[in-house]
Amino acid sequence: MSDILKVNNPTAGFDNASRTHPVSVNDTNVQNIVDMTKVTRSDGKSGNAEKELGLNYGSNFGTFLEALRNTPNITEILSDILFQMSGETQQVSQNGFMSELTNILKGMNLTQDELLSFIKEQSSAAGKFNNVFFQAVEKLLENTKSADLQMEMLNFVKIYNDASSSQSTLKNIQSILKNISTYMTSNYRQQLQNIMDKLTELNQNRSEGSQSDITSFLKKEVVPFLSNYIKNTNNMGKVRDFIAMLTLSIAKYENGSMDKLGQSFNRLMDFRDFNNVFNGITVDDLKKLIQNENTNETDFSKYFTDALKRGLKGEGGWETKSAFQNILQSLLLNESVYMPLNHIMVPAYIDGRPMFSEIWVDPKHKEKNEKGVKEDCKRLLVKFDIKDLGLFDLIITQKKNGVDLQLYYPEALKQREDGIKKDIVGIMEKNGLNLRNFALGMSSKSKTIEEVFPQIYERINMIDVKI
């Protein structure tokens, strides 16, 4: 047995081998030796902004960035649909998908005042927490030193979000139940249909205090029925997946009750700092605020949603179904909790030409001034596609002492650059805006959101992001 403590005599001639025969970098008997005194070649790694930021693409945020980079340009897709199919609406019967598309096109005929009002309405609905009340909440959240107050305020925001979307959550629950019924065996399907009818009846007779009745029905009737179904049938497929989604929606619906909202707000009023700012505001005021949000749907939103549903079903032609899928993906991405920008869609006619536009607004953009100090400003990215002209990218940064503007125009207007520059300068002067810097050039490719708003990579999450 060998002596692992090496107390036996060493083999002669090998005790100082490493010292008498050092390894040399020029030794051909040793392969791939590393010379620590120099860098002989690159390590094969390429620079990457995401890697430098330490982003993990296994995370939700990493998935969001990946989707943001790969999502098609919704402005170009919708422009193609509206521009190319607008002529067809006059040649076919006005029903189904074409009827919805016609409504959208008719809604684009807006005067200048109507267009401004339309943008304001969308802007007010773009973020759930961009009103005066939540601006004050956010300011207090940033300034308070009380950890307990911060936690209670964040809990209040979550309950308010669930309460303001309770009706859409209930619609989602009904939609999930409908999907579950399609995958059930026939002997259970009719039982589930009876339960769904009762739920619909409860919702139709809904009063202020009946939300708790609906929650109780969901927990005591719906969940036990589905639990027994899984137990008896061992269905581990689609139904089980839908049930997991259903339980999350039920939990959200229960958390968004007006009773919980009132209890959370009353707890906040017990904090002196909160009471000093919001003294005089009642739970009834919050309920009115929620009601105003739920009635803030424009005609364009309704017609566009209906057209999107029909397009996803293939009613606009199977060749356009993938285009509507890309539109839906882009819309969902713009409503992500990781997206700190307000998003607005604007269809209109400009000098008789149909135009579709998207606007992204960062109301809390920061840039360094001449002294190197970061100051608050606003930045906008406006994409607009005008029929027979092409796609434009307009970047506006509004600062205290003026406006910086960048406009990238399509190649078709290359010969009119001087006239465009003169017209824009005139527009700025007419509206009393100080144009500090102005860049004008032909667009080689469409600007991406992350190019214009690089702070997205900084994981900026604000109270007024979309949820």
Residue with token string 């949820």: 467
- Residue 174, pLDDT score: 93
Local confidence band at 87 (pLDDT 50, 70, 90 cut-offs):
low
Could you report the per-residue pLDDT of 158-172, keeping only the tens digit for each?
999 899 888 889 999
Question: How confident is the model over 90-99, as pLDDT tens digits?
Answer: 444 455 677 7
Q: Residue 466: is its pLDDT beyond 50?
A: no
406 φ/ψ angles, rounded to the nearest 5 degrees: -130, 130
Confidence of residue 69 (pLDDT cuts 50, 70, 90): confident
Residue 379 neighbours by CB under 8 Å, 6+ apart: 361, 362, 365, 395, 396, 397, 398, 452, 453
One-letter identity of residue 179: N
- The reported pLDDT for the residue numbered 449 is 86
What angle do the packed helices 96-107 and 74-85 form, to 10 degrees?
Answer: 100
Residues 6+ apart with CB under 8 A from 174: 196, 199, 200
39-43, 276-280, 289-293, 389-393: range with lowest mean pLDDT: 39-43
Cα gap 124→343, rounded to integer Å: 11
- Residue 332's pLDDT band (boundaries 50, 70, 90)? confident
Q: For residue 79, give both structure tokens.
A: 């422009």
Residue 50 has pLDDT above 50, yes or no: no
pTM over 0.85: no
The pLDDT, as a whole number, for residue 41 is: 52
Residue 142 has pLDDT above 90, yes or no: no
Contacts of 340 (CB under 8 A, 6+ apart): 362, 364, 453, 455, 456, 460, 461, 462, 465
Integer Cα distance of 151 and 53 in angstroms? 28
Tell me how far CA of residue 284 lies from CA of 237, 258, 261, 317, 369, in angstroms.
45, 10, 11, 48, 44
What does the pLDDT look like over 221-251, one tens digit per residue? 999 999 998 888 887 778 888 998 999 999 9
Query: What string of H, E and C letters represents the secondary structure of the chain?
Result: CCCCCCCCCCCCCCCCHHHHCCCCCCCCCCCCCCCCCCCCCCCCCCCCHHHHCCCCCCCHHHHHHHHHHHCCCHHHHHHHHHHHHCHHHHCCCCCHHHHHHHHHHHHCCCCHHHHHHHHHHHHHHHCCCCCHHHHHHHHHHHHCCCHHHHHHHHHHHHHHHHHHCHHHHHHHHHHHHHHHHHHCCHHHHHHHHHHHHHHHHHHHCCCCCCHHHHHHHHHHHHHHHHHHHHHHHCCCCHHHHHHHHHHHHHHHHHHCCHHHHHHHHHHHHCCHHHHHHHCCCCHHHHHHHHHHHHCCCCHHHHHHHHHHHHHHCCCCCHHHHHHHHHHHHHHHHHCCCCCCCEEEEEEEEECCEEEEEEEEEEEEEEEECCCCCEEEEEEEEEEEEECCCEEEEEEEEEECCEEEEEEEECHHHHHHHHHHHHHHHHHHHHCCCCEEEEEEEECCCCCCHHHHCHHHHHCCCCCCCCC
Summarised one tens digit per residue, pLDDT across range 386-399 is 888 889 999 999 88
- Tokens representing 270 are 């017990």
What region does 54 belong to: left with phi over 0, alpha with psi -120 to 50, or beta? Answer: left
Work out whether the CA dihedral 421, 426, 431, 436 comes out positive or negative: positive
The first and second tokens of residue 67, run together, are: 């989707």
Percent with pLDDT over 70 in the chain:
77
Regarding predicted confidence, which is higher, 75 or 29?
75
pLDDT at 121: 73
